Amino acid sequence: MLTNADFRQSTLVKIVAAINGEATAAKGKAQKQFIRFFAGLALNQSSTKFDGNNTWVNAGTSSNYLPKISIGADAFNNSTVQRLVFRGELSFTAITPKFETSVYILGNSDGYQTYTFNQYTASFTPQILYNIYNRDNLKFYLGTGAGLNFSVYSNNKITTSNSTFHYDQDKPYEYQSFWLNIPVEAGVTLNKRVEIYGMYSYPTAYTTYTYFSVSSRITSVGLRFLLNKR
């Protein structure tokens, strides 16, 4: 075989397989198909606001902090170099906005209104990541993708009250159960075991009203634990 070899890639693979046994070829095939799994935990800071023609526009922005948990998998175009990463991530998080404003009630100026809603969201986010700095034990990457979000809502109400009056209006607004957002992300990978990252999600409305909208801007800092490495 060696005397007739023309040094094409296919021929060299056969030569190596003949020397080392079929296990070498099988190992090379497994490397090309390498999938890496991970689990993650992050802290989300959400800023929710009304835009357009609505009373609550004047109430400003509601900010809160809540955790996000995630699991997912990475695939590589080249499992040895690992510069380009195709990622799919499932996550769960929530936001709990609260808006307050002063109102007159029966001619008295001591009244106030509070609007609240809770949004619980499960997301699937396909992403493309690129390792700008790519060493075996230290990588720096940038990435973006599309968040496919499925949400349910509770505590959706306006409370109007003062010292002698109290009234709750349930479900004053309707929100979408499915909506999209575009996250961008930057992070570092340490020793092929841990990712430390920051994420920013552009504000995206999850309402369909003509004259106003409600949207949330979300920033995150978090860790991902890589469950298998190569």
Q: Which domains does the chain have, with CATH numbers?
A: 1-33 (no CATH), 35-226 (2.40.160)
CA distance 193 to 138: 10
- For residues 150, 203, 176 and 52, what is the CA-based torsion angle, rounded to 10 degrees? 170
CA distance 22 to 145: 39
**β strands within the chain, DSSP E:** 35-52, 62-76, 84-95, 98-105, 108-134, 138-145, 147-161, 166-170, 178-181, 183-190, 194-205, 212-226
Contacts of 72 (CB under 8 A, 6+ apart): 37, 38, 40, 87, 88, 89, 90
Per-residue pLDDT tens listing for the chain (230 residues): 445 545 565 565 565 555 555 544 445 444 455 899 999 999 999 999 999 999 899 999 999 999 999 999 999 988 888 899 999 999 999 999 999 988 877 667 778 899 999 999 999 999 999 999 999 899 999 999 999 999 999 999 999 988 788 889 999 999 999 999 999 999 999 999 999 999 999 888 999 999 999 999 999 999 999 998 76
Is there a contact between 129 and 85 (Cβ–Cβ < 8 Å)? yes
92's tokens: 């769960």
CA distance 141 to 159: 46
CA distance 46 to 181: 13
For tokens 């004259």, name the residue.
211
